[in-house]
């Protein structure tokens, strides 16, 4: 069996860091395709929803705040809103059950929603919420939607991860950060989990015609992640990172990962719909192509001088870790 690391070589898709979601979908007719996007009403999720809708897909946006989601997607053809709270197992099960009862096949599931907290926050189960939303909630949702994914006779599950996966492997002895909480490491762990999850899903479900992908979309400061009023970084940090200029304007430099929302959404819709990926699964993507592997450990010195990469770290492609994470997810869902 070919390993994921062996598959991590660019295909020569013809797209670049400058490509937009519209360019990736140009010429594709997605009429009749059902797509579910968690958090598809804001940021890169909204940019993906807009592009997929314009290509003819029927897009369902799953959101905790359905009112805000409905306002954000008003006027988009073929877009509907469903309620989903990824921290509430009953809400996750309810959405999966509603979809299954509808009899609609699910051609594409985009696991996009995420959170970031500077301080440790846990849900009602005592689970650290960054991990619980990004991985565990999506894991539960994906398992619940398996019948609908099978019914598509060719489906894709797209996990929106990040180059931040390089910051942390899974903390197997303390995944909920009961000791020594670090917001960046918690975020990095959650993204590693999404990469491992996609690889293991593909291994398990490819025979059913369901392929898994994970990806780094790039950094779009225009849609900086927010949790309530809490920004992912304050303006001083964003300026120090070179993401905004002195006047507060976003810096757009796709070759250095700094993208518009439309450019950052390009890899999401590439994973969701591009025929370039037909027959290939389990891989980690960036810039609308398969990303190479970079085995260098990410150090504080590299971060300080900007010598960072969003390529795949080997710890996120380890098949034993992927199986172990799947088992962990099942145990955590069982309570």
Per-residue pLDDT tens digits for 152-164: 999 999 999 999 9
CB 52 within 8 A of CB 272: yes
Residue-level pLDDT at 229: 32
Residue-level pLDDT at 256: 78
Euclidean distance between CA atoms 200 and 74, whole angstroms: 36
Phi then psi dihedrals of residue 230, to 5 deg = -90, 115
pLDDT, tens digit, for every residue of 100-132?
A: 999 999 999 999 999 999 999 999 999 999 999
CB 220 within 8 A of CB 207: no
177: left (phi over 0), alpha (psi -120 to 50) or beta: left
- One DSSP character per residue, 265-332 reads THHHHHHHH-GGGTT--S-EEETTEE--B--PPP-HHHHHHT----SBPGGGG-HHHHHHHHHHHHHH
Euclidean distance between CA atoms 253 and 275, whole angstroms: 27
The 10 Å CB-count burial string (b at 16+, else e) for 309-327 is: bbbbbebbbbbebbeebbe
Euclidean distance between CA atoms 133 and 113, whole angstroms: 7
Q: Which of 119, 288, 125 is nearest to 187 (CA)?
A: 119
User: Mean of the per-residue pLDDT values for the chain?
Assistant: 91
Spans of the chain below 50 pLDDT: 225-232
Residue-level pLDDT at 106: 98
Residue-level pLDDT at 132: 98
Tokens of residue 207, six digits: 């025979």
Q: Could you list the active site residues?
A: 187
Euclidean distance between CA atoms 309 and 292, whole angstroms: 10
The 10 Å CB-count burial string (b at 16+, else e) for 249-282 is: ebeeebeebbbbbbbbbbbbbbbbbbebbeeebb
Euclidean distance between CA atoms 39 and 41, whole angstroms: 6
* Helix residue ranges per DSSP H, 175-246: 183-205, 235-240
Residue-level pLDDT at 241: 60
């Amino acid at each position: 069996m070919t390993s994921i690391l062996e598959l991590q070589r660019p295909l020569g898709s013809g797209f670049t860091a400058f490509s937009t979601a519209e360019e990736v979908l140009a010429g594709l007719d997605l009429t009749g395709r059902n797509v579910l996007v968690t958090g598809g009403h804001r940021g890169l999720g909204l940019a993906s929803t807009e592009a997929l809708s314009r290509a003819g897909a029927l897009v369902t946006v799953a959101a905790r705040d359905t009112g805000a989601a409905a306002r954000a997607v008003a006027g988009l053809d073929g877009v509907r809103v469903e309620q989903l709270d990824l921290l509430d197992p009953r809400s996750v099960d309810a959405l999966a059950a509603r979809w299954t009862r509808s009899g609609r096949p699910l051609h594409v599931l985009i696991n996009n929603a995420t959170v970031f907290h500077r301080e440790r926050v846990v849900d009602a189960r005592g689970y650290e919420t960054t991990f619980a939303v990004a991985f565990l909630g999506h894991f539960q949702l994906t398992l619940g939607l398996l019948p609908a994914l099978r019914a598509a006779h060719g489906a894709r599950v797209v996990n929106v991860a990040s180059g931040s996966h390089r910051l942390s492997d899974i903390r197997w002895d303390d995944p909920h950060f009961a000791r020594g909480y670090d917001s960046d490491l918690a975020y990095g762990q959650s993204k590693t989990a999404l990469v491992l999850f996609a690889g293991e899903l593909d291994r398990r479900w490819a025979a059913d015609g369901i392929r898994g992908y994970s990806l780094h979309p790039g950094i779009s400061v225009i849609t900086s992640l927010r949790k309530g009023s809490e920004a992912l970084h304050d303006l001083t940090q964003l300026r120090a990172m070179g993401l905004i200029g002195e006047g507060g304007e976003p810096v757009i430099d796709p070759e250095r990962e700094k993208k518009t929302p439309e450019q950052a959404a390009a890899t999401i819709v590439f994973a969701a719909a591009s025929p370039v990926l037909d027959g290939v699964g389990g891989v980690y993507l960036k810039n609308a192509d398969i990303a190479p592997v970079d085995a260098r450990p990410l150090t504080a010195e590299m971060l300080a001088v900007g010598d960072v990469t969003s390529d795949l770290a080997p710890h996120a492609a380890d098949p034993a870790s992927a199986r172990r994470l799947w088992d962990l997810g099942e145990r955590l869902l069982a309570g």
